[in-house]
């Protein structure tokens, strides 16, 4: 793992020192009107950071302070992490805001020395994973995520930016420490008997069979190589349903601290997989096909393709852009990679270190086992068949065949 780059002035905030920090900053930036009476609560439930909710009980205004820790909060100081990820996250949000300002939170202030990002308060929103588990529906979600992916990927690729700008972006968002986490936890450890893995005893025989599947491991190795070497666009790097805030009408993509210049299909693959994990969970519980969840996937992919093609035609900087078949080739390649990456994500969420509540919170042991096995089977199917899954309909049908 990486070594922290904590400066001499760095110290983790507490609820009390967070208030003091904002009160001092308020004198310069006018974050809250005077007089103010600030209240603070640490609300972070993630693995890597502190998140503080600051509110003024007099004006009702509020904001969020996110502070990176020099280690993984979920593990402790034995797992050191670079604080530079806070700067990458803030700059990735600001970069996304250039093209999709309504789909990311507004960054108000950054402090590199303390690894702090101050941003707009999204407390009125719901974490997408929780909303889906609770059975809520979000009619704009697929359109919003498809738009987010198309615009952020195209405008940070050689098709939408000059070669000089692309080189600058790729250097600015070099993120080796957090990429290493993805390389290990998504693409490597789940396919071997590794001590970071975390799965229930009743899955042991199934997992051992997966580890023995040399064809699967070969294809997983190829996908890992793609992740390591394919530099196509600035990607979020961790786009699961815990990285999206939603209301009935709005969507905000958060937490791009894993952002780097990588394969354009990665974010799409992770998002598809996490929607499918919720689908697998619900199907195991009530044995019904959940068409509303399939529609999210369908609309996300369709809107992504439509928006990408519009950008390709109207905002390109590449001489070959009008060459017949080129855009279709690019979209087909992105889709193939996305299917494979989705397969790796499905498997790692069952075998690997970081699970999802969609599956783990199924109280009935037999139904949970069913969901876990279905996720592993579907993940393996996507990895092995990704070159033959050419359309959205084929992807959905492969899913239904596993879950029937």
β pairing state of 76-80 and 107-111: unpaired
Predicted model pTM: 0.95
256 marked ligand binding residue:
yes
pLDDT at position 5 is 46
Query: What value does the mean pLDDT take over residues 191-214?
Result: 98
- The pLDDT score that the predictor gives to residue 3 is 40
- Residue 34 is given by DSSP the state S
Q: What is the pLDDT of residue 1?
A: 36
122 is in an annotated binding site: yes
In this structure, are residues 230 and 153 in contact, taking their beta carbons and an 8 Å threshold?
no
How high is the pLDDT of residue 47?
A: 67
Is 238 assigned to a binding site? yes
Q: What size, in residues, is the chain?
A: 404
Contact 81, 69 (CB under 8 A): yes
pLDDT score at 77: 74
Helix (H, G, I), strand (E, B) or coil at 308: helix
45 a known binding residue? no
Q: In whole angstroms, how large is the CA radius of gyration of the chain? A: 21
Query: Taking the C-alpha atoms of 170, 182, 328 and 322 in order, what is their torsion angle to the nearest 10 degrees?
Result: 0
Mean pLDDT of the chain: 95
pLDDT digits (tens, 9 = 90+) for 133-152: 999 999 999 999 999 999 99
Say if residue 401's pLDDT is above 80.
Answer: yes
Question: Is 120 one of the annotated binding-site residues?
Answer: yes
Give pLDDT tens digits for 318-347. 999 999 999 999 999 999 999 999 999 999
Q: What is the pLDDT of residue 45?
A: 76
Residues 6+ apart with CB under 8 A from 297: 142, 272, 275, 276, 392, 395, 396
Residues 6+ apart with CB under 8 A from 249: 140
49 is in an annotated binding site: yes
Tell me how far apart the alpha carbons of residues 270 and 260 are, in angstroms, rounded to a whole number.
Answer: 15
**What are the tokens at 351?**
């075998």
């Amino acid at each position: 793992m990486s070594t922290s780059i904590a400066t001499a002035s760095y110290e983790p905030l507490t609820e009390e020192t967070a208030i003091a920090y904002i009160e001092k900053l308020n004198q310069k930036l006018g974050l809250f009107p005077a007089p103010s009476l600030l209240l603070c609560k640490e609300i972070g439930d993630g693995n890597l950071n502190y998140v503080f909710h600051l509110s003024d009980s007099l004006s009702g205004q509020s904001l969020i302070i996110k502070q990176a820790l020099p280690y993984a909060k979920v593990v402790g100081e034995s797992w050191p992490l670079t604080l530079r990820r806070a700067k990458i996250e803030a700059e990735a949000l600001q970069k996304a805001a250039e093209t999709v300002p309504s789909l990311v939170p507004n960054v108000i202030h950054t402090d590199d020395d303390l690894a702090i990002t101050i941003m707009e308060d999204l407390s009125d929103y719901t974490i997408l994973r929780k909303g889906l588990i609770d059975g809520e529906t979000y009619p704009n979600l697929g359109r919003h995520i498809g738009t987010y992916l198309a615009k952020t990927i195209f405008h940070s690729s050689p098709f939408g930016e000059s070669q000089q700008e692309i080189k600058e972006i790729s250097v600015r968002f070099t993120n080796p420490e957090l990429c290493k986490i993805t390389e290990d936890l998504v693409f490597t450890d789940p396919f071997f008997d590794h001590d970071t893995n975390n799965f229930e005893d009743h899955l042991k025989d199934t997992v051992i069979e997966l580890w023995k599947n040399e064809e699967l491991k070969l294809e997983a190795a190829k996908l890992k190589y793609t992740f390591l070497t394919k530099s196509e666009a600035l990607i979020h790097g961790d786009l699961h349903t815990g990285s999206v805030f939603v209301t009935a009408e709005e969507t905000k993509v958060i937490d791009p601290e894993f952002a780097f210049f990588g394969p354009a299909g990665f974010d799409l693959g992770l998002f598809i997989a996490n929607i499918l994990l919720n689908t697998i969970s619900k199907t195991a519980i009530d044995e019904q096909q959940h068409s509303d969840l399939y529609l999210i996937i369908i609309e996300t992919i369709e809107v992504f393709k439509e928006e990408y093609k519009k950008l390709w035609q109207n905002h390109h900087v590449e001489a070959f852009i009008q060459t017949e078949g080129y855009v279709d080739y690019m979209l087909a390649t992105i889709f193939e990679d996305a299917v494979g990456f989705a397969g790796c994500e499905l498997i790692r969420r069952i075998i690997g270190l970081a699970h999802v509540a969609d599956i783990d919170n199924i109280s009935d042991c037999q139904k949970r086992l069913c969901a876990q096995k279905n996720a592993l089977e579907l993940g393996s199917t996507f990895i092995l068949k990704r070159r033959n899954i050419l359309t959205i309909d084929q992807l959905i049908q492969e899913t239904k065949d596993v879950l029937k």
